[in-house]
Amino acid sequence: MFGLIQPCRGRLGATAHELWSAHLCGLCLALRDTAGQPARLATTGDGVVLSLLVAAQRPTATVRRGAGPCPLRSMRTARVVAADDPGITLAASASLAAAAARIHDHARDGDGLAGTRLLRAGATRAAGAVDRAADRTGRRVGFDTAELVESVHRQFALETATRRCPEADGAADGNTERAGALLALIAPTEDAAAAAFRHCAELAGRPENTGTLAEAGRLFGRLTHLLDAVTDRAADGQAGRWNPLTASGTTDAAARSLCLDALTGLRLAVDELTLAPSADAALLRALLVDELAHTVTRTFAGAGGAGGATTARATGTGTAPVEGGGWWRRRRARRQARRRGRRQESWCERCGDCCEACEVCDCGCDC
C-alpha cells in the first residue's frame, strides 16, 4: 500500500502483521462503504496509524467483522476491524481528505491524469466530492475536516508565493534560516496531521494525551512532507514543479537532519502517551518508532543512489552494493516456492514485495 508507513512482515512478525492487516483491510472496506468502490484507492498505511492510535488508548478490544475474499489477500477471507469503529471512521475521513488534497494538487500543477487539460475540470469536481465525503464521515465521530481543508489552502498559498524559489545548490548544511524557511513551508501539513492525531485522544476518552498526540501528529506530518519532498525532488526539478526543499534552498543532508530530529521527538512523544497494555499499543510503537526509522533510512538511501541500476542492501558489516536483477531473483524464488508446494500467503510473503520497495531491507529475510 501507499503511504509513509509500509511495514514489513519479516520485521513485525506474523501476529503483529495480522493485526496490521485487520486495521488496513478494515479501513479499505470503510472507505468503500463510505464513498464507493473508487474510494478504496485512498487506503494508506498512514491512515491505519489513526485507527491504531484510538485502539491503543482504549482498554477494550476493537470490534471485528468478517470480510470476504480479496485478491490482495490471495482470495482469502479475514477478520477485520468493523467499519463503524470510531478509529476506522476517523482514519477513513482523514484518508479521503488527503486524497482530495492530492487530486487538487495534481490539477493545479498540471501533473498526472488529473492535470491534463481534458480531465482537469472533472478532477477538480471529483476532489470536491471527495472533500464532502470526508466531511460527512468525519462528522460521525465529531471530527471537523475544515481544519484539514484550510491547511490545503494555506499550503497552496505558500507554494504560489514561493514559485520563484532559490536553488539549493551550495546551501550550507545546518543553516538555521534555511531550516526555518523549510519548516514554515510545510507547517500546513504539520497542522493537519496534528488535528487528526489530537482527535484520537478525544475518541479514546484520554484527554491527558491530547497535547502529546498533537505534537506527535505535527512531527509525523513533518516527516511525511519531508520524505515526500526528498523522493520527488529530482522529478520535480525536471518537470519544473514546486518542491519545498528547492524553494527553501535546503540540501538533502539538512533535510535528513530534520527527519532524524523528528524521529527522536516522535519516539519521546510515544513514550509519554498513556496507552492500554494491548497488542494494538505494541504495534503502534513498532510503526511509529521502528518502521518510521526504517522509512527514513530507505528514503535517503534511495535519494543518494544511482537511480535503480544499483541498490544498497544493509548487511551486518555495512552497506554493500547489489547489482540489478532483484526483480528476477524474487520471481525465481516464487517459482521455486511453488514447486515445493508452498502457497504464497500475501503480498508480503517472505518479504518479497516489501524489499522491492525499500531496497535496503534489514529484516533478516532471504529475499
Same domain, 283 and 327: no
- The rounded distance, in Å, linking the Cα atoms of 306 and 319 is 15
Domain boundary among 262, 278, 303: 303
Alpha-carbon gap, residue 104 to 102, rounded angstroms: 5
Q: What is the pLDDT of residue 320?
A: 36
**Residues 246, 133: one domain?**
yes
Indicate whether 367 belongs to any domain. Answer: no
On whether residue 219 sits in a domain, the answer given is yes
pLDDT digits (tens, 9 = 90+) for 56-82: 999 888 889 998 888 888 888 989 999
Say whether both 57 and 95 belong to one domain: yes
Same domain (yes/no): 226, 347: no
pTM summary value:
0.77
Same domain membership, residue 117 and residue 36: yes
Same domain for 329 and 210, yes or no, is no
Could you read off the pLDDT of 266-323 as tens digits, one per residue? 999 999 999 988 899 999 999 998 889 999 998 888 776 433 333 333 333 333 333 3
What is the pLDDT averaged over residues 4-22? Answer: 86
- Do 299 and 316 belong to one domain? no
Does residue 324 sit in the same domain as residue 277?
A: no
Q: What is the CATH number of the domain that holds 282?
A: 1.10.600.10
Asked if residue 68 and residue 33 are part of one domain, the reply reads: yes
Q: How distant is the alpha carbon of residue 303 from its chain centre?
A: 18
Q: How many domains does the structure of the chain reveal? A: 2
57 and 169 assigned to the same domain: yes
With the C-alpha atoms ordered 186, 287, 6, 328, is the resulting torsion angle positive or negative?
A: positive
Residue 324 confidence class, pLDDT cut points 50, 70, 90: very low
If asked whether residues 284 and 164 sit together in one domain, one would say: yes
Domain with 342 in it = 311-358
**Which residues contact residue 270 at a Cβ distance below 8 angstroms, ignoring those fewer than 6 apart?**
216, 284, 285, 288, 289
